[in-house]
Structure 1
Amino acid sequence: MNAGFFKRSFSTLIDLLIVFVIVYLTFILFGRSVLRNQIPDFDRVNDFYQEVLEVYNQDLEVLSEEYSAAITLAAGDKEKEAEAQLLYQIKTDIIRNQNTIDIEPFNRPLTRYFMLNISYYAIGFLILMTIYTLALKGRTVGRIVMGLELKGSVHIVSVFFHDIVFKYFLIVLLLVVNLNLGIIVFFLQILLDMIMLSISRKKATLRDIILKITVEKKGYSHKSTI
């Protein structure tokens, strides 16, 4: 019997967690240092940026306290409360505009570092997931835990396209190019899989149909094809 959406989703979630934990550990051990070395004077730039943010937050906190005190002193006088609100808004806008000017020199290097982080996780995930999936020939930890197995035209090439190319490649590519677009496509793919597994008589996704592979519950078969 073919597995439904939730069993397949939990299987995928388990595998995602395993791979992301490993990628995160590599980032902590050496990846972060390598990426920071790509940004000239990263430590100095980051320290200055954090100082600017700290001063900005302190200024906003002082303004908030002043505003609260002014409202208290107004004692319900609507005109005075309105004046306090207007003064608070004017001062807040000034501080925010000044903060935008202050952080401008740090935006480009820190944005580049942020994008390098995204690329590291995305590409690292794709490479590691490929090795992990192909080394186990599709019999991943997630599928074992959820009692699932691949059936049909199952071989190293079909597993690669089924579990990597059609499942993750486009999303990872978009995440590197445009983070928001990648996230949107990720959720659209989940929605499409949910619809296909719900309305399809054989409970098959598009990649299942194209590659002639099914994901079945192990309890309904005594012979593994992998």
Structure 2
Amino acid sequence: MNAGFLRRAFSSLTDILIVVLVVYLTFLLFGKLILRKQVDHFAELHTPYQEMLDVYNEDLNAISEEYTAAMTLAGDDEALKAEAQRVHQLKAQILEMQNTTDIESFNRELSRYFLSIIYYFALGFIILMTIYALAFKGKTLGRKIMQVKLEGPVNSISVFFHDIVFKYFFVIVVFIVSPYGGFVLLFLSVIIDLILISLTRRKATLRDILLKIDVVKTGYGY
């Protein structure tokens, strides 16, 4: 019997969390150091940059507390509430403009580092997920936990296209270009999968249909 959407979704989520955790650990162990070495005088740039952001956040918290206090004191007086909101917005705009000016020179130098972090996680995810899926021939830990498996013409090539190319690759490519666009594409992909699995008799996604693979329920230890 083919697996439903929730069972498949949780198996995928489990595998994603495993891979992301491993990529994050590699980032902490050596990735961060490697990326920072790509920026000249990183420590001299990042330390004051972070200090400025900390001060900015503290100032934002301070004016938020002032705003909350002003709104409390205003009670039911709409005029006082409107004035408190106007003052808060004005102070927030001033702080934002000042912060933008303060960190502008640092942003130019550090933007390459922050962008490289996105590349590191995106490429690290797709590479490690590929190794993970192929090494286990599609029998990933997520699928074992949720008791589902691939059935049909399952081999290295079909697993690569089913579990990597049609599932994650295009989302990752878009995410590298635009993180927002990547999240939108991921959301749309999930919605399409939900509709197809819920409404079709075979409970098959587009990648299942193209590769003639079924994701079926099974027991532990398959």
TM-score by length of 1: 0.85
The letter for the 1-side match of 2:106 is F
Count of aligned residue pairs for this structure pair: 220
Equivalent in the alignment of 1:33: 33
The letter for the 1-side match of 2:23 is V
Distance in 2 of aligned mates of 1:64 and 1:215: 51
Distance in 2 of aligned mates of 1:166 and 1:149: 17
Provide closer, same or farther for how the CA distance between residues 192 and 69 of structure 1 changes in structure 2, counting only shifts above 3 A.
Answer: closer
The letter for the 1-side match of 2:150 is L
The letter for the 1-side match of 2:22 is I
Residue pairs, 1:3-14, within 5 angstroms: 3-14=3-14
* Larger deviation, residues 79-88 vs 40-49: 79-88
Provide closer, same or farther for how the CA distance between residues 202 and 78 of structure 1 changes in structure 2, counting only shifts above 3 A.
Answer: closer
Shift of residue 189, structure 1, vs aligned partner? 0.5
Equivalent in the alignment of 1:194: 194
Deviations 1:70-117 (A, max 9, x none): 889999998888777655554543333222211111122332222111
Equivalent in the alignment of 1:165: 165
Equivalent in the alignment of 1:178: 178
Provide closer, same or farther for how the CA distance between residues 104 and 202 of structure 1 changes in structure 2, counting only shifts above 3 A.
Answer: same
The letter for the 1-side match of 2:199 is I
Provide closer, same or farther for how the CA distance between residues 128 and 81 of structure 1 changes in structure 2, counting only shifts above 3 A.
Answer: closer
> Aligned with 2:3: secondary structure?
coil
The letter for the 1-side match of 2:19 is V
Q: Which runs of 4+ in 1 moved over 4 A?
A: 58-92
Shift of residue 2, structure 1, vs aligned partner? 0.6
Distance in 2 of aligned mates of 1:41 and 1:24: 24
Residue pairs, 1:134-145, within 5 angstroms: 134-145=134-145
Distance in 2 of aligned mates of 1:68 and 1:146: 47
Shift of residue 172, structure 1, vs aligned partner? 0.8
Distance in 2 of aligned mates of 1:155 and 1:72: 66
Distance in 2 of aligned mates of 1:2 and 1:22: 30
> Aligned with 1:215: secondary structure?
strand
Distance in 1 of aligned mates of 2:7 and 2:74: 60
Distance in 1 of aligned mates of 2:158 and 2:86: 65
Equivalent in the alignment of 1:55: 55
Q: Percent of aligned positions with the same letter in both sequences? A: 54
Considering only aligned residues, what root-mean-square deviation do their CA atoms show, in Å? 2.7
Equivalent in the alignment of 2:113: 113
User: 5+ unaligned residues in a row in structure 1: which ranges?
Assistant: none
User: 5+ unaligned residues in a row in structure 2: which ranges?
Assistant: none
The letter for the 2-side match of 1:186 is L
Distance in 2 of aligned mates of 1:107 and 1:89: 25
Equivalent in the alignment of 2:213: 213
Shift of residue 47, structure 1, vs aligned partner? 1.0
Shift of residue 28, structure 1, vs aligned partner? 0.5
Provide closer, same or farther for how the CA distance between residues 76 and 31 of structure 1 changes in structure 2, counting only shifts above 3 A.
Answer: same
Shift of residue 215, structure 1, vs aligned partner? 0.7
Shift of residue 67, structure 1, vs aligned partner? 6.7
> Aligned with 1:150: secondary structure?
strand
Distance in 1 of aligned mates of 2:51 and 2:178: 29
Equivalent in the alignment of 1:203: 203
TM-score by length of 2: 0.86
